Amino acid sequence: MFVDVTEGNQSFTWAASQIISTTSDLNTFMTALFGGKLLPSDVLENMFTVPEVPTWNKDGKDVGRATLSMGMIRTTIKSVTFWGKIGARPGYCNGMFATRGLQ
């Protein structure tokens, strides 16, 4: 059964940002953010700083180093590091990632 949730912009406790957008909008946002047009450079640098602490899975097993910074997720694929954010709403799961230099 399909349910149209485009008008259902009610708040969820885990997703209060309320973003409903297009991929073009997200590209514009990421370009401005990573290009230093939205935040002071020291705040942006904090967004690219991940604490050097271990990460554990639900069973308490150490599974590597932290990947979350102040508002972004760091992930590395084939030696290329990407930064971004993921989110979900009923019926949707999304993410936006880019290299720090927007390559």
| DSSP-assigned letters across all residues of 19-85 | ----HHHHHHHHHHHHTTSSS-HHHHHHHT---S-EEE-TTS-EEEE--B-SS-EEEEETTEEEEEE
| pTM (two decimals) | 0.69
Q: Which of 19, 40, 33 is nearest to 83 (CA)?
A: 33
Is the predicted pLDDT of residue 16 greater than 80, yes or no? no
Tell me: the pLDDT tens digits for 26-84?
Answer: 889 899 999 999 999 999 999 999 888 888 878 878 778 888 888 889 988 999 999 99
